[in-house]
A and B are shown apart, each in its own frame.
Chain A
Amino acid sequence: MVEALQFEFMRNALFAGMLTSIICGIIGTLIVVNRLVFLSGGIAHSAYGGIGLAFYFKLPYMVGAVGFSFLAAMLMAGVSIKSKQRADTVIGVIWAMGMALGVLLLDITPGYNVDLMSYLFGSILSVPVSDLITMAVVGGTILLIVFYFFQDLLVMSYDEEFALVRGVPVKRLYYMLIGIVAITVVMVVQVVGLILVIALLTIPPYIAEKYTKTLFQMMLLSCALGMLFTTGGLWASYRLDLTSGAAIIFLAGIAFFASLVIDHLLQLWRKRMMSLAHQEELSVTRN
């Protein structure tokens, strides 16, 4: 790994991976505990409609993607608040429509032929320094907002109704959270690709949730796991000459299933210990 770091692109990739891990670890924790994984997927995919709009109207890429995703996200948030029962269906519709719109707009834009695959998988190995700076600044701002509202988000995430009774502005907070998710997702997707973002938003928090006692610990462990996966994946991709994004995702996936197996074994072991203790108790009383 050390010799790999002599290349600037590897240093940038590693730095991008660290930033992504921190942002995804913290926002991903909020996504997982608020059950917003599907909604985040919807936002990320509908961003493609924004990219299409940007190309068609010759706007800057980020303006189109962030603007469109943000509007789509607000729409999804509104539907989630109004009718929780059917929110997933509406999110699915916006998800598909956004992508279709993007493809159609690119079709009718003369002279452009953008590769959809690069959006899906990104290219963590070709991140320019300017993107890193944007990520650091936007990421830092988002994290400041999250920590300013940390207690409110905590109370809302656990029990919305109780939060309302306590006077937490749940609706505004929910829109804010979804807005933050939209900006995060689009920004990070552009750098490391859609699939890696979804993986880093879900897998580290899911594993972390089981081994931590507070939301803050869950965020910290998620960040650490994300860093472990990105570093490990990058190293593997360098040594074995593999696609970096896919290597990171695959490593995270293996960890995910490993944690399931470990949990299962732990449970079996606990049961066994309990039955042993029970038998011992029985034999003591008999003697």
Chain B
Amino acid sequence: MTPPVIDIYDLCFSYSGKEVLHGINLTVHNRDFVAVIGPNGGGKTTLLKLVLGLLRPTRGEIKLNGKPLGSNNATIGYVPQQINHNLSFPATALDIVLMGKHRPDKRFVFTNSKKDRRDAMEALDKIGIAGYANRKITDLSGGQRQRVLIARALVTGPELLMLDEPTASIDTKGQADFYALLQSLNETQTIFLVSHDLLSIASYAKSIACVNKRLYCHQPFSSSKELLEAFYACSAEDTPSSTLSGQAAEETING
């Protein structure tokens, strides 16, 4: 049997004396579509950054494909939450995607090889924005920029796609398209998604993980009712500011 794509064992993380995550055990198998939900400040993004290797765990272990973190980071495609940072940066959509092709151990000064360019164009084509390849990123819409960042992640040839609240800054129509795209990508890739967007999760995710300092549940997705129950269960308990995040949770569901 192949080892799970992500295997988290007894993971703890503290930041300036406060415990953000405690005793997380989580296994993600090939071609799963995990949606990580939970209240604000519950440690969802922290968990994602730990798996990416951007943060180091205080205790515990994270394995990717059975190997400890750090030895095989190239198999992760990362799509960040912020799509509007560095907006005036002088780069075209194609340039941004080509950044995914960058290998620090191989330095070519100006030339991107023809193959890299072809791969980058293919990635842009796959998500339907090949026509914008030579546009500057400033001139793209939020949804298009989001797609560019996904293409940048895809061009790395990842087995695992990790996304941090990717729909935070796109409109409703854009969101529906976006989730449809994720679903088609899920045919070949494992997806690990941090999200507030319970409605979309209900229609697309294969399993959900509720994180609020601890991992409250990780279960295959069955019904919207169970999803809501799971969400409330992890939001209600043991939150540093439980009333506040409770409100936030309600807002998310109502909105």
Contact of B109 with A214 in the complex, beta carbons under 8 Å = no
Q: Which B-chain residue is minimally distant from A168 (CB atoms)? A: B104
Contact of A158 with B89 in the complex, beta carbons under 8 Å = yes
Contact of A213 with B90 in the complex, beta carbons under 8 Å = yes
Stretch in contact with the other chain, from A144-152, A191-199, A253-261 = A144-152
Q: Whole-angstrom distance between the alpha carbons of A33 and B89 in the complex?
A: 7
Instruction: Tell me the dominant secondary structure on chain A's binding face.
Output: helix
Contact of A213 with B92 in the complex, beta carbons under 8 Å = yes
Contact of B109 with A209 in the complex, beta carbons under 8 Å = no
Does B76 touch A at the CB level, under 8 Å?
A: yes
Contact of B107 with A148 in the complex, beta carbons under 8 Å = yes
Complex interface residues of chain B between 90 and 111 (CB less than 8 A to chain A): 90-92, 95-96, 99-100, 102-105, 107-110
Q: Which A-chain residue is minimally distant from B106 (CB atoms)? A: A151
Stretch in contact with the other chain, from A84-92, A159-167, A233-241, A274-282 = A159-167
Complex interface residues of chain B between 34 and 89 (CB less than 8 A to chain A): 52-54, 73-74, 76, 78, 80, 85-86, 88-89
Q: Whole-angstrom distance between the alpha carbons of A208 and B110 in the complex?
A: 19
Contact of A169 with B104 in the complex, beta carbons under 8 Å = yes
Complex interface residues of chain A between 116 and 166 (CB less than 8 A to chain B): 147-152, 154-155, 157-159, 161-162, 164-166
Q: Whole-angstrom distance between the alpha carbons of A195 and B88 in the complex?
A: 25
Q: Which A-chain residue is minimally distant from B77 (CB atoms)? A: A165
Does B207 touch A at the CB level, under 8 Å?
A: no
Q: Whole-angstrom distance between the alpha carbons of A280 and B91 in the complex?
A: 34
In the bound complex, residues from chain A placing their C-beta under 8 Å from that of B152 are 162
In the bound complex, residues from chain B placing their C-beta under 8 Å from that of A267 are none
Does A215 touch B at the CB level, under 8 Å?
A: yes
Tell me whether A165 and B54 are in contact in the complex, defined as CB-CB below 8 angstroms, given that A151-B107, A154-B99, A158-B96 are known contacts. yes
Contact of A164 with B53 in the complex, beta carbons under 8 Å = yes
In the bound complex, residues from chain B placing their C-beta under 8 Å from that of A215 are 89-91
Q: Which B-chain residue is minimally distant from A165 (CB atoms)? A: B78
Contact of B92 with A214 in the complex, beta carbons under 8 Å = yes
Contact of B107 with A162 in the complex, beta carbons under 8 Å = no
In the bound complex, residues from chain B placing their C-beta under 8 Å from that of A58 are none
Does A216 touch B at the CB level, under 8 Å?
A: yes
Complex interface residues of chain A between 25 and 61 (CB less than 8 A to chain B): 33
Q: Whole-angstrom distance between the alpha carbons of A152 and B96 in the complex?
A: 13
Tell me whether A166 and B100 are in contact in the complex, defined as CB-CB below 8 angstroms, given that A213-B91, A214-B92, A216-B110 are known contacts. yes
In the bound complex, residues from chain A placing their C-beta under 8 Å from that of B29 are none
Tell me whether A168 and B102 are in contact in the complex, defined as CB-CB below 8 angstroms, given that A158-B91, A213-B91, A213-B92 are known contacts. yes
Does B206 touch A at the CB level, under 8 Å?
A: no
Question: Smallest distance from the beta carbon of B103 to chain A beta carbons, Å?
Answer: 8
Complex interface residues of chain A between 154 and 187 (CB less than 8 A to chain B): 154-155, 157-159, 161-162, 164-169
Q: Which B-chain residue is minimally distant from A34 (CB atoms)? A: B86
Tell me whether A158 and B99 are in contact in the complex, defined as CB-CB below 8 angstroms, given that A165-B76, A167-B73, A213-B90 are known contacts. yes
Contact of B90 with A161 in the complex, beta carbons under 8 Å = no
Question: Smallest distance from the beta carbon of A273 to chain B beta carbons, Å?
Answer: 15
In the bound complex, residues from chain B placing their C-beta under 8 Å from that of A214 are 90-92, 95
Q: Which B-chain residue is minimally distant from A149 (CB atoms)? A: B107
Question: Smallest distance from the beta carbon of B125 to chain A beta carbons, Å?
Answer: 20
Q: Which A-chain residue is minimally distant from B80 (CB atoms)? A: A161
Does B186 touch A at the CB level, under 8 Å?
A: no
Contact among B52, B80, B86, B108 with A151 in the assembled complex (CB-CB below 8 Å): B108
Q: Which A-chain residue is minimally distant from B81 (CB atoms)? A: A161
6 other A-B residue contacts (CB within 8 Å) besides A151-B108, A166-B102: A147-B109, A148-B107, A158-B91, A165-B73, A166-B104, A214-B90
Contacts from B to A (Cβ < 8 Å)? 52-54, 73-74, 76, 78, 80, 85-86, 88-92, 95-96, 99-100, 102-105, 107-110, 134, 136, 152, 156
Q: 25 pairs across A/B with beta carbons < 8 Å? A: A33-B89, A148-B107, A157-B89, A158-B89, A159-B80, A161-B52, A161-B54, A162-B78, A162-B80, A162-B100, A165-B52, A165-B54, A165-B76, A165-B78, A166-B74, A166-B100, A167-B103, A167-B104, A168-B104, A209-B89, A213-B95, A214-B90, A214-B92, A214-B95, A215-B91
